[in-house]
Amino acid sequence: MTQPQQNPEVSLVPDRPVPQHIGIIMDGNGRWAKARGLPRQAGHRAGTKNIRRVLEEAVRLGIKVLTVYAFSTENWGRPQEEVKHLMWLISKSIQDELDELDANGVQIRHSGRMAGVNPQLQKDIRWAIERTRHNDRIILNVAFNYGGRAEIVDAVRHIIEDQVPPEEVDEALISSYLYTAGLPDPDLIIRTGGEYRLSNFLTWQAAYAEYYATPVFWPDFDEAELRRAVAVYQGRERRFGLVK
């Protein structure tokens, strides 16, 4: 796939709002590596490093929550060697980046299941969450071992366990039982890599999100590409099923 030319000059409209919560499906790491004659692992490493520059640009734009789709419940079906590398890469990223993220006011959250994740990585994730929980510059919500349908199933199970009367179950209650409880719903979902599907990402929360797809592979999705996506968002009219 030919990557489009990147243009750093992307202007936003000053009097139009920017999305407060952006979700990103970080797709195209493997194809990025293949196009360069590199192993898939090199693409995943480049994709992981790219999170920082996108996060920094999100702060500059005034975005308050960035949710990145790091590993889905379906990804366990990938080759074992690739899965092991991804687990190692996530653990290493926490070790290498946590000090700087904390110093820069980034609050880390996790959306997903801990079941099936190795105990050391679980410990790393919980430590990152606990250490940064008072930071308020931006929230980096990592969707790891995440599936939108699994999230809804878990929410329903917990509602049943808590013996909530049926007449009290509404959308607000279900939202309060999701992994993302306390976070605003995403305003914008970005998918890199040229695909046009949500892939079980924020299934409940993205009901009224704007959608933006780009052929740019995730490791090449830079500050200008994020601004381009936000500029497109600013040009949309959000009616939430109503009439303007």
Cite the active site residues.
27, 75
Q: Cα–Cα distance between 148 and 111 in angstroms, integer?
A: 10
Q: Cα–Cα distance between 40 and 23 in angstroms, integer?
A: 23
Q: Cα–Cα distance between 240 and 230 in angstroms, integer?
A: 19
The answer to whether the CB of 47 falls within 8 A of the CB of 219 is yes
Could you write out the DSSP letters of every residue in 162-223?
A: TT--GGG--HHHHHHTSTTTTSPPPSEEEE-TT----TTSSTTGGGG-EEEE-SS-GGG--H
Q: Cα–Cα distance between 16 and 23 in angstroms, integer?
A: 19
The answer to whether the CB of 18 falls within 8 A of the CB of 63 is yes
What are the tokens at 103?
């110093």
- Rg over CA atoms, the chain: 18
